[in-house]
Amino acid sequence: MEQIISTESAPQSQPDTATRGVDERALTPGSVTALLVTAALAYALDLGSKLVAVSRLEGQEPVAIAGRVLTLQVFRNSGAAFSSGQAFTGVFTAISAAVVVVIARVAHRLQSLPWAVALGLLLGGALGNLTDRIFRAPGVFRGHVVDFISVEHFAVFNLADSAIVCGGALVVLLSFLGTSLDGSALQDRRDRSIRAPR
């Protein structure tokens, strides 16, 4: 009888909801893979487009895509994205390298697919322009970036610049929504809402 009473009255342990959420996030597969695939795709598209632009457009008349609004014409840019800050080539090279290092350091914390895509775009874009800085004239770490997409009354840029801008915008959006690298903020709010008394 004592054994029966003891068995019936003993509370059954239930996994804490927050703990379960953390465990599920820890088992989320593919975030680092998504980062690497996104970065590789952005880098490959940027590198390939620059090779084609240099071989077919450099020294030629601008190619009109949408009248004068959008044209293709090669410019060698010693500055940052969208041809800005052309007197600080070495500084922008260091910044690109720092972006790559920072993303590599935080990658192990990734459990959020949107963050993986955002960081992958930033990484691919930074590597694309960093490749130009290292391997193009006039010299190592001083190379000029190939820009070839010209928008009237705006700027001349490349696909790496576009990837950086899109990745940065996504980072701002995710930060505004309160989503962290491991995806915990959204899950924690959901857990607290489930546990809150009604």
Just list the catalytic residues: 147, 161
Contact 164, 125 (CB under 8 A): yes
Distance in angstroms (rounded) separating the CA atoms of residues 131 and 141: 9
Q: What angle do CA 120, 124, 126 make, to 5 degrees?
A: 115
Of the candidates 26, 28, 10, the one whose C-alpha atom is nearest the C-alpha of residue 18 is 26
HSE value, Cβ hemisphere, 13 Å, CA-based, for 132 = 31
* Token pair belonging to 102: 């920072």
